[in-house]
């Protein structure tokens, strides 16, 4: 009787073990699918966050270019041959001031005079000479001293024109510095606005991501708990089966006739 009971319990446990193994396979398959869904969701939102960062950088870069152009500081307004601070911005200021004229100066007799405006062609020649000479004008040779030059005298321009030109450069550089400051302030303000926008966009995206991941994470947790419970139960069943195997073996041994040989 003990042998039959032990064999019955052993077979019952084997059937339960087989069912547990099948259930484990199903749970593992579900868990694998859920984990893949979590991974795909996380990758998708990682890409969306990266796109937001790229979009913010592009907005800032484009805005910076636009602001610099608005203040006359774009790439087209700056010269690579920046001799004596003669950028494109400064060129525009100098050209306008020299063409307009109106510079005050005193002649040799001390009388105040007004410098007349120059033609665009002469202004271009002055600028070309200034930059070709590294920020200087060609001095006038001293006719009485070979190899010497006259002080404050120039080969192609009178002193008043040169003085007005240099003053216009100073005015242009001051105006450029002010515009650079204004552009920088506007760029900083825009960058701050973009940062606020980016924070708001990321916060909304994080909330959306959490809403998408929450049920998946919960399902993953439940499946992991179920798998852990089945693993624990399977371990116990294996131990019980081993116990009944030993019991059956012992009962068989005890009930087997020895015919006086044992």
Average the pLDDT over 233-253 and give the result. Answer: 79
What is the reported pLDDT for 131? 87
In this model, does residue 104 exceed pLDDT 50?
yes
Over pLDDT 70: what percentage of the chain?
Answer: 89
Write the pLDDT tens digit of every residue in 120-152: 999 999 999 998 888 899 999 988 888 888 888
Distance CA 181, CA 183 (A): 5
- Average pLDDT of 83-109? 84
Q: What H or E segment, with its residue span, contains residue 114? A: strand 112-115
Read off the tokens for 175.
Answer: 């105006």
Q: Which residue has the tokens 């009930």?
A: 255
- pLDDT number for residue 251: 64
Residue reference for tokens 């070309």 = 128
Q: For 21-36, write each residue's pLDDT tens digit.
A: 898 999 999 999 999 9
Q: Taking Cα atoms as reference points, which of 170, 169, 102 lies closest to residue 131?
A: 169
Task: Provide the whole-model pTM.
Answer: 0.69
Q: Looking at residue 261, what is its pLDDT? A: 47
Nearest to 183 by CA among 24, 53, 58, 65: 65
Please name the residue that has the structure tokens 């940062």. 195
């Amino acid at each position: 009787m003990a042998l039959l009971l032990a064999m019955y319990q052993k077979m019952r446990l084997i059937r339960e073990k087989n069912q547990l193994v099948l259930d484990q396979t199903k749970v593992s398959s579900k868990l694998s699918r859920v984990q893949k869904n979590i991974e795909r969701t996380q990758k998708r939102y990682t890409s969306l966050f990266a796109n937001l960062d790229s979009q913010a950088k592009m907005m800032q870069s484009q805005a910076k270019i636009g602001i610099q152009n608005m203040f006359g500081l774009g790439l087209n307004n700056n010269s690579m041959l920046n001799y004596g601070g003669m950028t494109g911005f400064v060129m525009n200021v100098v050209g306008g001031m020299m063409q307009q004229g109106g510079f005050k100066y005193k002649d040799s007799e001390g009388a105040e005079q007004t410098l007349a405006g120059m033609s665009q062609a002469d202004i271009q020649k002055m600028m070309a000479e200034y930059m070709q000479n590294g920020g200087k004008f060609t001095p006038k040779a001293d006719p009485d001293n070979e190899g010497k030059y006259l002080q404050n005298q120039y080969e192609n321009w009178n002193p008043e024109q040169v003085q007005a030109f240099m003053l216009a450069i100073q005015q242009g550089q001051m105006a450029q510095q002010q515009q650079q400051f204004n552009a920088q302030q506007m760029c900083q303000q825009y960058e701050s606005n973009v940062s606020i926008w980016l924070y708001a966009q990321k916060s909304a995206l994080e909330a959306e991501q959490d809403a998408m991941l929450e049920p998946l994470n919960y399902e993953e947790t439940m499946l992991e708990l179920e798998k852990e419970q089945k693993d624990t139960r399977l371990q116990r069943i294996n131990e019980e089966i081993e116990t009944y195997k030993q019991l059956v073996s012992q009962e068989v041994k005890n009930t087997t006739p020895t015919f006086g040989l044992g």
